[in-house]
């Protein structure tokens, strides 16, 4: 069958491949601690009760026809008010676009800014920027980051690539690492973006900044920073990605939003009109009501992130204890999001049957079978398959499952020689 060149060259998700293996084993009755998915087990982490009530109410009131293409005005006004109250950001409803989660908005940002052959810069590891670059025909520049900087890019690492670039894609707290920009790190990058744009002529496309802060409310004792609060003059160059998916444990509710320059937001809206990527109207109405209830919002988020951070801290502590006992493992203290960054340096080792662990994927599938634990290698986020770092997500497992998994993980790693 002859298909489009785009379809023929689409790359499958490594995370989906790992997930399929996990699901097959679970179907056979195996106990697997699934630390792969950037999702929430809704039986462990249900959505806010008030949000659920308002969703039911909206359906009972028959709000089941098409929503406005830009999102309900009541929701965009609630978002505008929350941005002002929470982050001291001034965005009018016309500068806000609602869609069915953050993915259509990221795609629309790329499509609105990037022409085929345009240069796009993003750090690795990072989530899905390689796929969005492919879908837009971008000339992607992947900037390798280091453990020393918590796998976040520095201004010095980005600077050599800025000339002629049209989009810099950043995320904090970062998927997959759960690490965050410090004020100093982000300040240096923002100053560099402003300097680059001052050097460009009136007829040149600016260097835009896409800032994904979908995990901004899920921080563990760290302060979240954003480009526009640090440098208000960046407002005309910055497109934000945000929404309910992570902070309200509402991944399946599908209400995301983007905010930025009105002329960009309006073009993103026009594009998504043809895609039909709207968030369902009842869910939009429910979020518009819930978002106004600041006390309820904060109470839910604080409880939720305390539970998530507790699971991540338990996992981090377990890895550090293994390190102290001489295993070639390490982890970075969790700062935000759902994730812990774990190093398991066993490439080149062999299992008891003599099978060699050639790359990070080999280790993943070995641990699924021998430890009943599933992780995602950084190779799924743009890094080399020889890189011994992995993402562990706490969203799909209970604290009890993590505690039960840690001895199995240590035992399986000890068998590798």
Residues 268 and 228 in one domain: yes
Give yes or no: residues 148 and 107 share one domain. Answer: yes
Number of domains in the chain: 2
Regarding whether 306 and 291 lie in a shared domain, the answer is: no
Range of the domain at 334: 5-45+302-414
Same domain, 147 and 23: no
Stated pTM of the model: 0.97
The verdict on 290 and 329 lying in the same domain is no
pLDDT for position 11: 78
* Same-domain check for residues 387 and 291: no
Residues 228 and 333 in one domain: no
Q: Answer whether 310's CB lies under 8 Å from 399's CB.
A: yes
| CA atoms within 13 A of residue 126's CA, in its CB half-sphere | 27
Q: Identify the pLDDT of residue 177.
A: 98
Measured CA to CA, the distance from residue 318 to residue 7 in angstroms comes to: 43
Write out the chain's pLDDT in tens, 417 residues.
789 999 988 877 777 778 788 888 888 988 899 999 899 999 999 999 999 999 999 999 999 999 999 999 999 999 999 999 999 999 999 999 999 999 999 999 999 999 999 999 999 999 999 999 999 999 999 999 999 999 999 999 999 999 999 999 999 999 999 999 999 999 999 999 999 999 999 999 999 999 999 999 999 999 999 999 999 999 999 999 999 999 999 999 999 999 999 999 999 999 999 999 999 999 999 999 999 999 999 999 999 999 999 999 999 999 999 999 999 999 999 999 999 999 999 999 999 999 999 999 999 999 999 999 999 999 999 999 999 999 999 999 999 999 999 999 999 999 999
Q: Examine the domain organization and report whether 291 and 315 are in the same domain.
A: no
Same domain? For 20 and 53 the reply is no
What secondary structure letter does DSSP report for 379? Answer: G
On whether both 170 and 318 belong to a single domain, the answer is no
- pLDDT, residue 266, reads 98
Do both 15 and 58 map to the same domain? no
Look at residues 205, 211, 203 and name the one whose alpha carbon lies nearest to residue 235: 211
What CATH code is carried by the domain that includes residue 174?
3.40.640.10
**pLDDT score at 14:** 75
* Cis before 244? omega within 30: no
Query: What digits encode the pLDDT tens for the residues 89-137?
Result: 999 999 999 999 999 999 999 999 999 999 999 999 999 999 999 999 9
| Residues 351-374 as b or e (16 or more Cβ within 10 Å = b) | beeeeebebbbbbbebbbebbbbb
91 with 186, same domain?
yes
In this predicted structure, what is the pLDDT of residue 30? 86
Task: Please confirm whether the linkage preceding 173 is cis (ω < 30° from 0).
Answer: yes
| Among 267, 298, 329, residue at a domain's last position | 298
pLDDT at 15: 79
Q: Which domain CATH number covers 347?
A: 3.90.1150.10
SS3 376: strand
Q: From CA 338, how far away is CA 102, in angstroms rounded?
A: 16
Boundary-marking domain end, from 249, 268, 298: 298
């Amino acid at each position: 069958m002859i298909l489009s060149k785009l379809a023929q060259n689409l790359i499958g998700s490594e995370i989906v491949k790992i997930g399929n293996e996990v699901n097959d084993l679970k179907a056979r009755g195996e106990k697997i601690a699934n630390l792969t998915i950037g999702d929430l087990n809704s039986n462990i982490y249900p959505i806010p009760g008030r949000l659920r009530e308002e969703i039911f109410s909206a359906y009972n009131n028959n709000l089941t026809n098409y929503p406005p293409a830009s999102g309900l005005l009541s929701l965009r006004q609630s978002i505008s008010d929350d941005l002002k109250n929470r982050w001291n950001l001034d965005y009018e409803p016309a500068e806000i676009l609602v869609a069915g989660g953050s993915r259509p908005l990221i795609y629309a940002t790329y499509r609105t800014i990037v022409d085929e052959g345009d240069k796009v810069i993003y750090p690795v590891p990072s989530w899905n920027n390689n796929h969005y670059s492919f879908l837009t025909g971008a000339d992607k520049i992947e900037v390798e980051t280091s453990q020393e900087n918590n796998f976040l890019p520095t201004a010095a690492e980005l600077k050599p690539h800025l000339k002629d670039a049209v989009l810099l894609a950043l995320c904090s707290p970062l998927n997959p690492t759960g690490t965050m920009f410090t004020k100093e790190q982000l300040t240096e990058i923002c100053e560099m973006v402003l300097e680059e744009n001052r050097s460009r002529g009136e007829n040149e496309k600016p260097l835009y900044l896409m800032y994904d802060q979908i995990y901004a409310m899920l921080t563990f004792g760290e302060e979240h920073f954003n480009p526009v609060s640090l440098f208000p003059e960046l407002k005309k160059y910055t497109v934000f990605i945000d929404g309910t998916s992570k902070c309200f444990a509402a991944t399946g509710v599908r209400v995301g939003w983007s905010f930025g320059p009105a002329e960009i937001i309006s073009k993103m809206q026009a594009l998504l009109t043809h895609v039909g990527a709207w968030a369902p109207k009842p869910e939009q109405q429910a979020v518009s009501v819930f978002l106004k209830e600041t006390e309820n919002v904060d109470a839910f988020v604080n409880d939720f992130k305390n539970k998530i951070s507790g699971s991540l801290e338990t996992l981090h502590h377990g890895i550090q204890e293994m390190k102290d006992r001489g295993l070639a493992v390490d982890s970075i203290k969790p700062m935000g999001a759902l994730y812990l960054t774990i190093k398991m340096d066993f490439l080149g080792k062999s299992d008891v049957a003599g099978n060699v662990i050639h790359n990070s994927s080999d280790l993943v599938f070995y641990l699924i079978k021998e430890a009943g634990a599933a992780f995602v290698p950084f190779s799924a986020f743009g890094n080399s398959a020889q890189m011994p770092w992995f993402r562990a997500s706490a969203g799909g497992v209970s604290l009890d499952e993590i505690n039960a998994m840690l001895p199995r993980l240590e035992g399986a790693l000890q068998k590798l020689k």
